[in-house]
Amino acid sequence: MTDGNNNTTVLIQPVLQDDKNKTTTPTNPFSEIVSKQKEYFNTNATKDIGFRIEQLKKIRALLRANESKLYEAIYNDFSKSEFETYATELAVLYHEINLNIKNIKKWSNRKRVTTGLANFPGKSFIIPEPLGNILVIGPWNYPIHLTLMPAVAALAAGNPVLLKTSELPANTSAVIAQLINDNFSKELFCVVEGGVQETTALLELHFDKIFFTGSVPVGKIIYQAAAKNLTPVTLELGGKSPAIIMADCNINISVKRLVWAKFINGGQTCVAPDYVLVEKTIEEKFLLALQIEIEKYHPDTDESRENYLQIINTKNFDRLEKLIDRDRVYLGGRTNREKRYISPTVLKDVSFEEEIMQEEIFGPILPVLSFTNLDTAIRKIKTKPKPLACYIYSKNKRTVNKVLNEVSFGGGAVNDSVMHLSNSNLPFGGVGFSGIGSYHGKAGFDTFSHQKSIMQKPFGFEPNLKYPPYSKLKMNLIKWLIE
Ligand code: NAD
């Protein structure tokens, strides 16, 4: 496994296990830690609400005390500004921690539900119980937020967590590993750094839940590995998220919001608008507004990276550069391989059949396609797998509702893009190829909880209705009671 920061990598000696509830692969380097987390969970220590709140406060304090280290690490990985790091990584995380601290007690309470006459005089309730040892596998694009946010939800719900960070933002991964591994007992919360090899080894072991954020192809690998143990998964994946711009929208406001959402984090955002579908009648006006807005924030002559990010690595830079069809460039298209810089790029007159429309772009290239008929545009969107997000910009209620009703997607926004994920009252997740399950706020707590359903009866009274001998009268009574 990688040792991003020398002493922070979790090194575990292989051990043999004889308990079938524990891990079984003798040579697996993570057997011991996974067994320890299972044992720890079985002590019930994580079920105490006060204990859980304490852990979340500890994470919050660690983040606060080490913000400058995190800013520096993120800058070294992406050349991302402090402002953007705070806004897109830390602010949302602090909010989620605070929300969980405030609500753990309420969310973990038993909930009474009605019982029905057939079970009179019983009572029924649901107990949200922690699932057990959790594996969280993170992506590279928001390496603090997308690793610690699910970890916080899992801990809040009372589970021990093993977090596997992405190997690509090596500096940030090393800081997270150091902060967590130096301050938490590894039975409760531990970070493993590494890539395919480490993840493959982890996937051989038994977890009570796997929470994965990343690409569709790797999501399939995770799902298959989890199936061997019937381990439930949450898969937070990607896809081609469209933004539909109708002629009746406010162009300037729409473009302002769209440009921010597309080019923040250098376009490396899972819910960034992947492509634009604009009504033909306003295409020229829209393109012009795009140009003005982009040039305002990202002058194409300037590669100083105050407000604009690098591409994460050369492999991704090369992949993205190949997607820029020079005949289609309306704006931008300037690249610098050494600096892994791609200027915000707009492509026009693109069709659904072109290469750039086949896979998620995940970079600062925005193809613009025009349409004359919304039904046709919707049909085209539906030829692709269900996207993680969809955005509709229009003042017309019927148009908005048509898109919301007819297109299936994870979540989205009307007259805005990306910002839906900042509202923790909205469960965040995909559908179909863009993912399974959701999190954020209460949805996150529920994702890491099992809803244990209980019916409780007193000893005092037991009607004979369900017992033989059966009779016509009993039959009629049971019909009346149950139906
Ligand atoms: P990725 O799938 O390449 O990697 C994700 C994780 O899987 C990393 O920790 C990596 O080490 C591990 N991994 C990679 N290959 C593996 C393999 N063969 N076997 C086992 N593990 C493996 O994804 P990424 O490049 O880090 O992130 C980009 C993708 O993630 C995009 O598709 C994006 O849309 C998606 N994403 C989704 C969300 C969301 O919330 N839905 C958020 C961010 C990114």
Helix 49-65 and helix 145-156: axis angle, to 10°? 160
Distance, C-alpha 433 to centroid of its chain = 14
Nearest CA, atom 30, ligand 1: 214
Q: Are residues 310 and 230 in the same domain?
A: no
Q: How far is the CA of 15 from the centre of ligand 1 (A)?
A: 30
The residues assigned a catalytic role are 236, 270
Contact present, 233 and 276 (Cβ < 8 Å):
no
Q: Which residue range is the domain that position 46 belongs to?
A: 16-238+438-451
Give the position of tokens 């079938």: 20
User: How much is the pLDDT for 12?
Assistant: 39
* Dihedral angle over CA of 148, 149, 152, 158, nearest 10: -120
**C-alpha–C-alpha distance, residues 73 and 263, integer Å:** 21
User: Could you tell me what percentage of the chain is helix, strand and coil, using 3-state DSSP and rounding each to the nearest 5?
Assistant: 45, 15, 40
**C-alpha–C-alpha distance, residues 439 and 419, integer Å:** 15
User: How much is the pLDDT for 303?
Assistant: 61
Contact present, 384 and 408 (Cβ < 8 Å):
no
Contact present, 429 and 213 (Cβ < 8 Å):
no
Whether the upstream peptide bond of residue 469 has omega within 30° of 0, thus cis, is yes
Q: Are residues 274 and 218 in the same domain?
A: no
Query: What average pLDDT does this structure show over 432-438?
Result: 98
Contacts of 156 (CB under 8 A, 6+ apart): 52, 56, 100, 104, 107, 444, 445, 448
Q: Give the bridge partners for 164, in sequence order.
A: 137, 192
Q: Are residues 185 and 51 in the same domain?
A: yes
**468 part of a folded domain:** no
218 CA closest ligand 1 atom index: 2
User: How much is the pLDDT for 26?
Assistant: 59
**360 part of a folded domain:** yes
**C-alpha–C-alpha distance, residues 144 and 125, integer Å:** 37
Q: Give CA separation, 191 vs 35, 86, 278, in Å.
A: 15, 22, 44
**C-alpha–C-alpha distance, residues 388 and 391, integer Å:** 11
Q: Per-residue pLDDT for 9 more than 50? A: no
- % of the chain surpassing 90 pLDDT: 87
Q: Are residues 153 and 114 in the same domain?
A: yes
Q: Per-residue pLDDT for 398 more than 50? A: yes
Give the position of tokens 């591409």: 311
Question: Which residues form ligand 1's pocket by a CB distance below 6 Å?
Answer: 137-141, 146, 164, 166-167, 195-196, 199-200, 213-215, 218, 221, 236-238, 270, 360, 362, 388, 430, 435
Residue among 144, 218, 431, 434 whose CB has most ligand 1 atoms within 8 A, to mutate: 218
User: How much is the pLDDT for 298?
Assistant: 74
Q: Are residues 219 and 148 in the same domain?
A: yes
Q: How many CB atoms lie within 10 A of CB 402?
A: 16
The CATH number that applies at residue 100 is 3.40.605.10
DSSP 310: P
Distance, C-alpha 172 to centroid of its chain = 18
Nearest CA, atom 39, ligand 1: 236
In this structure, of 194-203, 320-329, 336-345, the range with the lowest mean pLDDT score is: 336-345
Contacts of 64 (CB under 8 A, 6+ apart): none
- pLDDT tens per residue across span 216-252: 999 999 999 999 999 999 999 999 999 999 999 999 9
Distance, C-alpha 252 to centroid of its chain = 30
Q: Are residues 136 and 200 in the same domain?
A: yes
DSSP run (H or E) holding 73: helix 67-78
Handedness of CA 291, 297, 302, 305 (dihedral sign): negative
User: How much is the pLDDT for 310?
Assistant: 86
Q: How far is the CA of 385 from the centre of ligand 1 (A)?
A: 18
**457 part of a folded domain:** no
Query: What average pLDDT does this structure show over 163-184?
Result: 98
Q: How far is the CA of 313 from the centre of ligand 1 (A)?
A: 14
Q: How far is the CA of 236 from the centre of ligand 1 (A)?
A: 9
Which residue type, as a one-letter code, is found at position 239? G
**478 part of a folded domain:** no
Helix 196-203 and helix 216-227: axis angle, to 10°? 30
The structure tokens listed for 83 are: 């402002």
Mean pLDDT, all residues of the chain: 93
**465 part of a folded domain:** no
Q: Per-residue pLDDT for 40 more than 90? A: yes
**431 part of a folded domain:** no
How would residue 108 be classed by pLDDT, with cut points 50, 70 and 90? Answer: very high
Contact present, 252 and 289 (Cβ < 8 Å):
yes
Contact present, 249 and 283 (Cβ < 8 Å):
no
Q: How far is the CA of 177 from the centre of ligand 1 (A)?
A: 18
270 CA closest ligand 1 atom index: 34
Which phi and psi (to 5°) does residue 40 adopt? -60, -45
- pLDDT tens per residue across span 60-86: 999 999 999 999 999 999 889 999 999
Q: Does the model's pTM come out above 0.85?
A: yes
How would residue 461 be classed by pLDDT, with cut points 50, 70 and 90? Answer: confident
Q: Are residues 266 and 282 in the same domain?
A: yes
Q: Per-residue pLDDT for 6 more than 60? A: no
Domain count for the chain, please give it.
2
Tell me the H-state helices in 79-215: 82-85, 91-108, 145-156, 170-183, 196-203
Q: Are residues 147 and 190 in the same domain?
A: yes
Q: Are residues 194 and 292 in the same domain?
A: no
Q: Are residues 200 and 314 in the same domain?
A: no
Q: Are residues 35 and 140 in the same domain?
A: yes
Q: Are residues 262 and 115 in the same domain?
A: no
The CATH number that applies at residue 313 is 3.40.309.10
**C-alpha–C-alpha distance, residues 483 and 478, integer Å:** 8
Tell me the H-state helices in 228-272: 251-263
**258 part of a folded domain:** yes
Nearest CA, atom 17, ligand 1: 196
Residues 86, 87, 90, CA angle at the centre, nearest 5°?
50
User: How much is the pLDDT for 306?
Assistant: 65
Nearest CA, atom 40, ligand 1: 236
**61 part of a folded domain:** yes
Nearest CA, atom 14, ligand 1: 196
Q: Per-residue pLDDT for 5 more than 90? A: no
Q: How many CB atoms lie within 10 A of CB 67?
A: 14
